[in-house]
């Protein structure tokens, strides 16, 4: 058996919820975390109380609870996606400059973001397609990308057209340079950094099959550790 098969941890690709569960499991107990809008929000469904994770929302809150329902809905208590949420015991509110100082000052342990593309050295493109008629909107993406200690990306590995979203160099406008540390996809978990891309584990494919899809050199974490 080759090293490559030894890092295959699932016999099929992971669905969005399975991936969210995996990300949740990988977050160290006691972490302060910001979950981006969209797929990353699913991660909150799988955080366990004993992990003691504190969620930050950029519009000015630590200790954010689950989405509000029924009588809990309060227009003054929303998350970054403008969805009504709840507060947990120990929550705190602060103004926008303080909220972004929490990001920009390096106080967040992890942020989880979606992406259009990630480069081999961890450049992130997730805010703008660059299409001439697209209205650009950046929000807090650049602050999160450059400020959090670890930047995790969650995305499908391939576009609808079958192109790899892990690329040698991003063709979409950048959100941040060399900021992504991990990429969670349906087919594999990648570790990115100045030395390129290491594959931690694969889902439903071998490292060799994965390499066929991804146009940058991939190393096996098992080999690196070995």
Partner 1 sequence: MLTFVDSVNEAVSGIKDGSTVMIGGFGNAGQPFELIDALMDCGAKDLTVVNNNAGQGDQGLALLIKEGRVKKMICSFPRQSDSWHFDAKYHAGEIELELVPQGNLAERIRAAGAGIGGFFTPTGYGTMLAEGKETRIINGRGQVFETPIHADVALIKALKADGVGNLVYRKTARNFGPIMAAAAKHTVVQVSEIVPTGGLDPENIVTPGIYVNSIVKVA
- For partner 1, the binding residues (CB under 8 A) are 57-61, 74-78, 82, 87, 93-97, 99-101, 103-104, 123, 128, 133-143, 146-147, 173-177
Residue position matching structure tokens 């955080």: 47
The smaller minimum CB distance to partner 1, of residues 42 and 122, is found at 122
Residue with Cβ nearer partner 1 (68 or 158): 68
Burial class (CB in 10 A: 0-12, 13-18, 19+), 35: buried
CB of 167 to partner 1, least distance (A): 16
Report the b/e string of 66-90 with b at 16+ CB within 10 A.
ebbeeeeeeeebbbbeeeebbbeee
CA 141, 142, 143, 148 torsion-angle sign: positive
Strands 166-167 and 124-125: unpaired
Q: Which is nearer to partner 1, 167 or 188 (CB)?
A: 167
- Choose the catalytic residue: 21, 58, 201, 212: 58
* Cβ closest to partner 1, residue 123 vs residue 186: 123
CB of 21 to partner 1, least distance (A): 28
Q: What pairing do the DSSP bridges indicate for beta strands 150-154 and 166-167?
A: unpaired
What are 25's two structure tokens? Answer: 């499991």
- Quickly count: other Cβ atoms within 10 Å of residue 112's Cβ: 27
58 a catalytic residue: yes
Active site residues: 58
């Amino acid at each position: 058996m080759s090293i490559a098969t030894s890092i295959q941890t699932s016999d099929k690709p992971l669905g969005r919820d399975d991936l969210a569960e995996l990300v949740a499991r990988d977050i160290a107990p006691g972490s302060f975390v910001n979950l981006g809008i969209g797929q990353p929000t699913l991660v909150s469904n799988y955080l366990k109380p004993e992990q003691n994770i504190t969620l930050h929302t950029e519009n000015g809150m630590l200790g954010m609870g689950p989405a509000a329902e029924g009588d809990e809905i309060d227009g003054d208590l929303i998350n970054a996606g403008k969805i009504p949420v709840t507060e947990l015991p120990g929550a705190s509110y602060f103004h926008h400059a303080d909220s972004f100082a929490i990001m920009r000052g390096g106080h967040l342990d992890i942020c989880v973001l979606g992406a259009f593309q990630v480069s081999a050295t961890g450049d992130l493109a997730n805010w703008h397609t660059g299409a001439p008629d697209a209205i650009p909107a950046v929000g807090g993406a650049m602050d999160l990308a450059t400020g959090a200690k670890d930047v995790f990306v969650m995305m499908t590995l391939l576009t609808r057209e079958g192109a790899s979203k892990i690329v040698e160099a991003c063709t979409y406008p950048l959100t941040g340079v060399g900021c992504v540390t991990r990429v969670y996809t349906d087919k594999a978990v990648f570790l990115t950094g100045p030395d390129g891309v290491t594959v931690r584990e694969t889902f439903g494919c071998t490292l060799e099959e994965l390499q066929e899809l991804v146009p940058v050199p991939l190393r096996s974490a098992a080999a690196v550790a070995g």
